[in-house]
A = this chain, B = another copy of it.
C-alpha cells in the first residue's frame, strides 16, 4: 500500500485547514480523519468536509448532530460501546451519519474487544445507522524503530481486526499510522499524519519522510563560550517524547520560554542570531502555535494558521 486514495491524512498532526487545503490540492486528498469535534467542524466549515472520519469516540451528540445537519459532506464516527452508538443514533436524527466499529487491537485505549464488534454492529444497524466497517489503531506499534518488530506486531493487531471485520462486514478497514503506512496489505485505508511535518521520534524509524517543521527562535543571551539562550521553550514544544533538538548545537535544557544550549565545537552565536530546533513529538508541538510559516528556498512564501486547536 502506498499513499494516495488509500491514505486518509490525520488532521490531528497539524490542526490547520490551510495545510489540509494544500493536501487536497497537491495530493488530491478528499478524505481526512480527525481526533476532535473542533477539527471535524473546522474542516467542514472550511469546505474540506467531503469525507470526514472522527477516528475517536465522542459523547457530543449535539455538536455531531449540528455537523450532519449542515450537510457539508459524508460524516463517519468511530463507536466502541453502547453509549457511543447511542450518541451516533441521536446525532443521526439530524442528518446522515455512518459509523465504524472501533476495535482494540492491542493498544490499551479506546476500541471494543474484537469479539464484541459484531454485537455493536448489529445494534447500530438495528437503530438505522450505516456501519461502514471497522477501525483499529495499532498505536503501540507505529513508533517502534525496529521494523521487523513492527511487522510482527501489526500482523497480530490485524488478526484481531480481521476477527472483528468478519463479524461486522462493510467496505472500510481503517488502520495504521506513519510508522506502519507501508506495512499494511489488508486495511483499505491508512490514518497517518506525522509523515507530513515529522519529528525526531519518527526520524528514528528511517522512514522516507523529511523533517519539514522547525521552531526557529531568536538568541537573546550569549555567555562567552559556554552557552546561549533562545527564546522558545516548554510552551513551544510537546515534551512527552523528550526534549527538542537544537540543530548543530548541544541542548542543555528548556524552561518555559527559553532553551539553553552549548555550542558543540561550532563558533559561539551572537545575540540576535536565529537557531532552529526540531521537536521530539510533532502533534503536541503544533498545538502550542497559532501559525506556521511556509518557507521555500529561505523565503517565507505563505502562512498557515493553526486554526483547529483546542476542542
Contacts and interface: CB of A to CB of B under 8 A. Distances in A.
Majority-rule SS of A interface residues: loop
Given A81-B222, A221-B81, A109 B254 contact: no
Contacts of A254: 240
16 contacts: A12-B256, A56-B220, A56-B231, A56-B257, A57-B229, A57-B231, A58-B231, A81-B222, A84-B271, A108-B252, A109-B221, A238-B239, A239-B240, A287-B288, A288-B288, A290-B310
A40 to B, nearest CB: 13
Interface in A255-298: 255-258, 260, 270-272, 281, 283-284, 287-290
Given A81-B271, A110-B220, A284 B139 contact: no
A57 B220 contact: yes
Contacts of A288: 287-288
Interface of A: 12, 35-36, 56-59, 80-81, 83-84, 104, 108-111, 139, 218, 220-223, 226-227, 229, 231, 234-235, 238-240, 252, 254-258, 260, 270-272, 281, 283-284, 287-290, 309-310
A272 B57 CA distance: 11
A280 to B, nearest CB: 10
Nearest to A291: B310
A110 B229 contact: yes
Total identical chains: 2
A235 B59 contact: no
A234 B108 contact: no
A51 B282 CA distance: 38
A83 B235 contact: no
Contacts of A283: 234-235, 256
B281 A59 contact: no
Nearest to A12: B256
A309 B287 CA distance: 12
